[in-house]
Structure 1
Amino acid sequence: MTAATPTSSAAAPHGLLRAAIAVEARKAWSSHVMLWTTVLLVVGVGALALGILAAVASGEAQVIAKLGPLAGVGGWAGLVGIVVQVTAAGGLGAFGIALSWMFGREFADGTVAALFALPVPRAAIALGKLIVYVIWAIAVAALLTVVVGGVGLVLGYGATDAAGLRELARLPVLVVLTALIAVPAAWAATLGRGLLPGVATTIGIIVVAQVLAIADVGAWVPIVAPALWAIAPDSVPAAALLTVPSVPLVFGALCGVAWARLQLDR
């Protein structure tokens, strides 16, 4: 019995984390916010890409001017190029909203007080939320890739050849990396005790990333590298993408600490 005690004690935290993940997964699955965020991101990006391609085909001068050199690129490369530009900014906004809801709703709905009565540590609850979020982001990446592939087939691009497959493969990588750099929104929603601080932080990340990209100094900046790489892979060293996980690791840890130190009176 004595020898079994350490094993049981070591297994307990894992069981509590699994319980937190299961509960947070049920919350996300039944959430209208998560559902509509998924629909708007997946269907919206596909519909927007179709609209832009239709405008280019009809000779819309303003659209062609905004696309620049990309307007003259056809086939899978042109389609994916348009989609990654839309996803780089729109995806970050969508993921930030999702995280703001996942963490901020506990304060907005007044359910955070009940978490103090649970046997599951609050840090484990925060980690469970982040794990569910990452799983959801991977699912969104897969769905969006399927939708974009379907759009390409509808447009008559034919079966994806090797070159087209390489173009299309950038999309799920971009979506997942974009989801990772949105994690500061979870920390902000926790510190600000609501949804709006997380949304505001997401907008701030988008603005800063855009400024750094325009200034051409963002190849090694984690919040900029995914979008630059997806739009122009040759302009960003592959090693620069390895800096992206530092964002969720740092801010995920900060989020866990913030949840562990939560107090009801402030």
Structure 2
Amino acid sequence: MSYFFATLQAEGLKICKSKVIWITVIAFSIAPLMAGFFMFVLKNPEFAKSSGLLGAKAQIAGEANWPSYLSLHAQMIAVGGTLVFGFVTSWIFGREYADRTVKDLLALPYSRAVIVIAKFIASFITNIVLSAYIVTLGFLIGWIIGLPQWSSEILTHGLYVLAVVTILTIALCTPVAFFAGYGGGYLAPLGFVFLTLVLSQIVAAAGFGDYFPWAIPAIYSGITDGGSPLGWNNLLIITITSLLGFFSTLYWWLFADQH
């Protein structure tokens, strides 16, 4: 157990001291800023008219209120989180190959499973913190704008949807870790992330989004008209996908030849 906590602490230090994570935080901050701008435009049609933003305003879904604003954040986490959370996971697992430090990890006097589990936990915590930061920044922007229809019921429901979408999106990042090991770096997992984003759009447009794991969080977030409630089949699909990614990654680190 002492080996595990030491490994987890080492992963935490790598993350905190890396510029990559802080750049990711800055890049992800664009999402709530854009959401706040959309709400501001919807709330101030005179500003939109004087600034020539009526065309853009017409393309913004929803109204300038807290329910629409929270739904927009859930959609951003479902879609943008697939990219950002996937990038974080690919970096945590792939950097060992890119920096040529994987041989040092494999030479440590304890099971490789400890390393894999510590990396998954570090990735999960990092992605949760990123999501919490985005939501907190979004709430701050919403209060500054002065959006209407604030209530405890709306807050509770909105946070529940945000939490579910975040956890589902993070859970689907485990296959990314496998491709980081299998590809020996960043390119393979990032390519997999972009592939899932593209396929999610195609499969959802074809009407089969409920059966494609990476499309389910976005559908539940309300990105389609009315959204869709989570069913047991949806949760089962995501659970199986997540477990396959986890055990595939574990198997690769335990038994694959590492060069």
Normalization by structure 2: what TM-score? Answer: 0.86
- Please state how far the C-alpha of 1:85 moved relative to its aligned partner: 2.8
User: 1:184 pairs with 160, 175, 186, which one?
Assistant: 175
Contact map agreement 2:220 2:228 (CA 8 A) in 1: yes
Q: How does 1:81-92 map to 2 (within 5 A)?
A: 81-92=71-82
User: 1:27 pairs with 1, 9, 14, which one?
Assistant: 14
- Structure 2 gaps, min length 5: none
- 2:23 is matched with 36
User: 1:63 pairs with 56, 63, 70, which one?
Assistant: 56
CA distance in 2, matches of 1:216, 1:89: 18
Contact map agreement 1:142 1:172 (CA 8 A) in 2: no
Over 3 Å counting, the alpha-carbon distance change for 1:30 and 1:18 in structure 2 is same
Partner SS state of residue 137, structure 1 = helix
- Please state how far the C-alpha of 1:29 moved relative to its aligned partner: 1.7
CA distance in 2, matches of 1:170, 1:64: 25
- 1:6 is matched with none
- Please state how far the C-alpha of 1:20 moved relative to its aligned partner: 2.1
- Please state how far the C-alpha of 1:124 moved relative to its aligned partner: 1.8
Deviations 1:70-103 (A, max 9, x none): 24x2311221232233332221111111111111
- Please state how far the C-alpha of 1:240 moved relative to its aligned partner: 4.3
Contact map agreement 2:219 2:227 (CA 8 A) in 1: no
CA distance in 2, matches of 1:172, 1:45: 17
Which segment is superposed worse, 79-88 or 126-135?
79-88
Contact map agreement 1:222 1:240 (CA 8 A) in 2: no
Deviations 1:127-177 (A, max 9, x none): 110011111222222222222221221111265431243134322321222
1:239 and 2:229 are equivalent in the alignment: no
CA distance in 2, matches of 1:16, 1:246: 29
Q: How does 1:124-139 map to 2 (within 5 A)?
A: 124-139=114-129
Aligned length: 248
Partner SS state of residue 118, structure 1 = coil
- Please state how far the C-alpha of 1:241 moved relative to its aligned partner: 4.5
- Please state how far the C-alpha of 1:188 moved relative to its aligned partner: 0.7
Identity of aligned residues (%): 25
- Please state how far the C-alpha of 1:206 moved relative to its aligned partner: 0.7
Contact map agreement 1:170 1:230 (CA 8 A) in 2: yes
1:45 and 2:28 are equivalent in the alignment: no
- Please state how far the C-alpha of 1:202 moved relative to its aligned partner: 0.5
- 1:155 is matched with 145
- Kindly provide the amino acid, as one letter, of the partner of residue 135 in structure 2: T
- 1:95 is matched with 85
Misfit runs of 4+, over 4 Å:
none
- Kindly provide the amino acid, as one letter, of the partner of residue 46 in structure 1: P
- 2:246 is matched with 252
Q: How does 1:160-175 map to 2 (within 5 A)?
A: 160-175=151-166
CA distance in 2, matches of 1:66, 1:181: 30
CA distance in 1, matches of 2:55, 2:255: 52
- Kindly provide the amino acid, as one letter, of the partner of residue 257 in structure 2: Q
Contact map agreement 1:91 1:178 (CA 8 A) in 2: yes
Contact map agreement 1:141 1:176 (CA 8 A) in 2: no
Q: How does 1:112-131 map to 2 (within 5 A)?
A: 112-131=102-121
Over 3 Å counting, the alpha-carbon distance change for 1:240 and 1:33 in structure 2 is farther
- Please state how far the C-alpha of 1:190 moved relative to its aligned partner: 0.5
Over 3 Å counting, the alpha-carbon distance change for 1:83 and 1:62 in structure 2 is farther
Normalization by structure 1: what TM-score? Answer: 0.84
CA distance in 1, matches of 2:109, 2:151: 51
Over 3 Å counting, the alpha-carbon distance change for 1:160 and 1:147 in structure 2 is farther
